[in-house]
Amino acid sequence: MNLLHKIIKPKNKEDKEFYKNLKSILNFKPIKLNYYKKAFTHRSLKQIDSKGKPINYERLEFLGDAMLGSVIASFLYKEAPKGNEGYLTKMRSKIVSRKNLNQVGKDLNLIKFVKSNVSKENVGDNIHGNIFEALVGAIYLDRGFKYCHKFIYEQIIIPYVNLEKLEGKITSYKGLIIEWCQKQKKKYSFETYEDTGNQSKKHFSVKIVINGKQIAKGRDTSKKRAEEMAAKRVYYALQSEIENS
């Protein structure tokens, strides 16, 4: 392993700087830098390898997602011995939610490594979680499951996972409102429309109507976030009724 490390030790200034910064995040020495470079390459660069295959983080993101799910599932199985399958699945979803992974990616400032033809202001929040997953995938290919497991524990489980707090955490207000309406046999609708207004960037507005009455509205640059915003406002408007039903 030491010989391999010497063979591929970074030589140019850019690689040396990348290696140094990466090592401080990983808390171990990366061996094959190409995996990590790929983990931070956006598809907008349209890079391909010698065989014509695309070079970007998307396949690594898929692999990292699977590794995260595996390590978190193992952790929950051990730490929540009384939890049934539904409980374990729900808790895993909360831990690896897009919001949580985006926050981890932001806290690690992974965006500074990303190479893209799209400005960092226009890539959207999800890139933070996407590249975190890609990084996990790169670790697995470079150093194997042991190091991958260690990294996930250090960067997610230890700093972010508190099972008692997570049990009461709402990961989707839209899902909660829909489930509540269905259980209470209430008619509901999410009415969405484009609402650009005076802004150049496209926006969406959503109003939620329950039993013929408009309860709340939300507006954002994506339909999904606008729906979630409106649903969150519905939850707080009807919180006592929802929690006591």
DSSP string, 34-46: HHHHHHTB-GGG-
Question: Structural domain of residue 39, as residue ranges?
Answer: 2-166
| Whether residues 19 and 114 fall in one domain | yes
pTM over 0.85: no
Catalytic residue, candidates 61, 133, 142, 228: 133
Tally the domains of the chain: 2
Please say which residue of 145, 166, 187 terminates a domain: 166
Please say which residue of 103, 134, 166 terminates a domain: 166
Side-chain-side CA neighbours of 34 within 13 Å: the count stands at 3
Please say which residue of 166, 200, 234 terminates a domain: 166
- CATH (domain of 152): 1.10.1520.10
Catalytic residue, candidates 17, 58, 61, 65: 65
User: Please, which pLDDT band fits residue 28 given cuts at 50, 70 and 90?
Assistant: very high
Q: Which residues contact 13 (CB under 8 A, 6 or more apart)?
A: none
Q: Which residues contact 125 (CB under 8 A, 6 or more apart)?
A: 102
Query: Is 65 a residue of the active site?
Result: yes
Query: Is 164 a residue of the active site?
Result: no
Model confidence over 1-16: pLDDT tens digits? 443 444 456 778 888 9
Model confidence over 86-124: pLDDT tens digits? 889 989 988 998 889 999 999 999 999 999 998 877 788
| Whether residues 16 and 88 fall in one domain | yes
